[in-house]
Amino acid sequence: MLKIGTYEFSSRLLLGTGKYPNFDIQKEAVEVSGAEILTFAVRRMNIFEANQPNFLEKLNLNNYKLLPNTAGASTAEEAIRIAKLARASGLCDMIKVEVIGCQKTLLPDPIETLKASEELLKEGFIVLPYTSDDVLLAKRLEELGCHAIMPGASPIGSGQGIINPVNLRFIIEQSKVPVIVDAGIGAPSDAAIAMELGADGVLLNTAISGANDPVKMAKAMKLAIEAGRLGYEAGRIPKKQYASASSPMEGMSIG
């Protein structure tokens, strides 16, 4: 089970809801993925106007835990305001803190992310910050009390997969709260590697919504994350420099 704050989930795939070709495909992909946590940009929702169209309207939201995110914020103050807006509208008490520091790379601003997370924790939110793969920043966020740490695999929407597995492994090893690899996943194999490294979950969006067949890709991601987790739990063999026979002959008498 994936435990975040007071919540427990059997799926380790957290799914973004944007950029699908249409809402029917979005619905089908979300359902097939088995995801229980859906994230969305609060800024894109008509949260106080129930009669206005919104991009989650095809989904049965009772089946999911909503994880609003603060996408669009470039300062801690903006992120805090967006988070409070989400809570005031009754969306959820969990928040994905996303404070972007550079519009070209969409990399998170570490200082503002730290500031926003600290304040939102004081306000009683369950806080999941999207962060770079900086090991010490991840530690500082955990020490603040964040309920999960979400280091990027590579820039949002880039599909480059995991560009720094060494740092991710360090973050995972040191962390006592769940580590969810967030952003940059391009293929099911990337998600499987994240899980094999010991991540507690993967958050992704573009790899599914932008696939030629998003529904099929949603299934592939689900299976990859399950397989990666199983592999991690099973414990992989160590890598060796030289061969060792799979059917050793030692101790066998050959007539």
| 156 makes contact with ligand DXP (CB under 6 A) | yes
Quick one: 86 or 122, whose CB is closer to ligand DXP?
Answer: 86
Closest separation in Å from C-beta 237 to ligand DXP: 30
Quick one: 106 or 177, whose CB is closer to ligand DXP?
Answer: 106
Q: Looking at beta carbons, which residue is closest to ligand DXP?
A: 16
- Region 114-153 residues binding ligand DXP, contact defined as CB under 6 A: 130
Sketch the per residue contact string, 51 through 90, with ligand DXP: x for CB under 6 A, - otherwise: ------------------x-x-------------------
| 205 makes contact with ligand DXP (CB under 6 A) | yes
62 is in an annotated binding site: no
Q: Rounded distance, CA 193 to CA 141, Å?
A: 24
Sequence-ordered list of residues with C-beta below 8 angstroms from that of 68, at least 6 positions apart, any chain? 39, 40, 41, 42, 45, 82, 83, 86, 91, 92, 94, 95, 96
As given in the structure block, the two tokens for residue 181 are 């690899």
**Which of the 8 DSSP states describes residue 62?**
G
Q: Rounded distance, CA 11 to CA 36, Å?
A: 6
Q: Which residues pair with 15 in a beta bridge?
A: 38, 204
Q: How far is CA 77 from the centre of its chain?
A: 23
Exactly one of 19, 65, 84, 96 is catalytic; which is it?
96
183 is in an annotated binding site: yes
Q: How far is CA 212 from the centre of its chain?
A: 22
Site stretch for ligand DXP (CB under 6 A), options 54-62, 79-87, 180-188, 229-237: 180-188
Contact between residue 99 and residue 121 where contact means Cβ atoms under 8 Å apart: no
Which are the catalytic amino acids?
96
Please state the residue numbers annotated as binding site for 1-deoxy-D-xylulose 5-phosphate: 157, 183-184, 205-206
Residues that bind ligand DXP (CB under 6 A): 16, 18, 39, 69, 71, 130, 156-157, 182-185, 203-207
